[in-house]
Amino acid sequence: MMNNSEHKYSKRQVEDLLEACLNKTLGEIDKKHVFDRTKTNPKITGIAGDVIEQSVFGYDANSDSSPDLNIDGVLTELKTTGIRISKKNDEEYEAKEPMSITAVSPNVIIGEEFSDSRFWHKLAHLLLVYYLYASDKTVLAAEYANFLVKGYQFLEFSEDDKRVLEQDWLIVRNFIRSLDGNEDLYPEISHLRDKLLFIDTAPKWPNPPRFRLKRTVVSNIVQKHFNGSLEQLPKSYSSYDEIDKKCHEISKLYKNKTVAELMSIFSIGGKIDKGIGERLVVKMFGGTAKKMQDIDLFSKIGLLGKTIVLTEKGKRTEDMKLFRINFESIANVDEQFIDSVFYDYFAENQILCIVFEEHDSSDFGKNTFLGFKRLSFDDGFIEMNVRTVWDRIRELVVYKELKDVPILDTNGNPRVNKTGVMQTAPNFPKSSESVVFVRGDSSDSTKKPETVNGISMYRQYIWIKGSYLSQKLDEKEFL
């Protein structure tokens, strides 16, 4: 087996090799005929990385836990990473998936410190090679030959990011130490997810799990490489405990102030609506952006800001819209739930609820700030509520069971809009049926721009019921 000392390059040599690959397909640069293996193994994984390793750098894949390359004396891990056009902005890229780092080996990690761990040795110096996964569907390995190499970068994490990675790793390491070798409790590692900022572990026991950088973290790296930097907060945070503490300090300062008063304090002008919650959070944390996802930290860790308005009796006033459904992905029968956007959204993101109390339903500016609560979604919720809806949507689309049905009023009669046209909607899971449900949304009620199975409809979004959120918020203390 070759070792990294034999994979020696200067940085200039690496740059020359990769510059020659840019905007060429993986098939075009495959001089070692790596894709020939797909003829007998059409679903082989890791084919893109194999092409870069063997046809560009000239070495065979191996399972060595050491970094792959020696570049000017610096041991560097090579990662070939898929990117795709962002679902939110077709002029930006996002990561196709999380980035696998190294195995979670209980017998090894219990004796490690972060600075000499296998985990950090793999992450300390990275060479990322990006290829464009130009498909909304899962494709066979041979089709990777059509994907273009779009870029590369040498990456070293900042000191702030290194502290976050260390804190995350310590949470896992210390948890494993606390088990004192009791293998029956190893499955509990997956329950650490809501404490980890940058990493997670997958798959679940009894399958041997690996450390991964969350897809949100990889997307953040990708976006900064191709599109420039996101805004940095004036203070760094290396754990959710530190973020929660800051939220508590903010709440002590501003609790019971009205939205109008807060806008004046933070010099925010313009329209007062539900979007003001995110703008206020950014200002309260010392930033200037309008959205939390324009802040580097929040973007990386997948912390989403949502305004929650409660009535004076503590009841939730409305449901929460989460994300738009990609029907090309839904129609892909080869996609597994764990690889879907649905799983990704609920498993990787957490919601920072900016809670207000409503005093006048016609004047948002009179709502008073109560504080923050942070919500995450555990495996049980995802399996019971999210997977069930994902399965049902797939059944309707794949098996052509989708129908456009009349919308009924409380008396069971068809609703008619102002133009006299009967209102209809597809028979996706509704709020009366499940906690997580589908609802169309549009800024123009006369247009139905989405077409699925020949049925015209509004753009369809995944929502979560307000009554469920109210219940979960009642169970949580304010930060």
pLDDT means over runs of 10, the chain (479 residues)? 65 96 96 93 92 91 73 95 87 92 94 96 96 90 96 96 97 96 90 94 89 95 89 94 96 96 91 85 94 93 92 74 90 86 93 92 90 94 96 95 85 74 86 93 79 92 91 90
Q: What is the phi/psi pair of residue 71, to 5°?
A: -110, 110
Beta bridge partners of 132: 83
Dist CA 142 CA 154 (whole Å):
28
Dist CA 284 CA 289 (whole Å):
11
CB proximity list for 354: less than 8 A, separation 6 or greater: 277, 278, 280, 281, 305, 306, 307, 308, 369, 372
Tokens 């997958």 appear where? 202
Q: Are the beta carbons of 114 and 166 closer than 8 angstroms? A: yes
- What is the 8-class DSSP label of residue 54? I
Element (H, E) at 47: helix 47-51
Amino acid identity, position 204: K
At residue 61, the pLDDT reads 65
Q: Considering only CA atoms, which of 312, 303, 277, 325 is closest in space to residue 426?
A: 325
At residue 2, the pLDDT reads 41
Q: Number of C-alpha atoms within 13 angstroms, CB side, residue 31?
A: 10
Beta bridge partners of 422: 416
Q: What Rg value do the Cα atoms of the chain yield, rounded?
A: 24
At residue 317, the pLDDT reads 64
Q: What share of the chain is helix, strand, coil (3-state, %, to 5)?
A: 40, 25, 40
At residue 123, the pLDDT reads 97
Dist CA 382 CA 412 (whole Å):
32
At residue 410, the pLDDT reads 75
298 by Cβ neighbours in 10 Å (0-12 / 13-18 / 19+) ranks as: buried
Dist CA 335 CA 331 (whole Å):
9
Dist CA 418 CA 1 (whole Å):
73
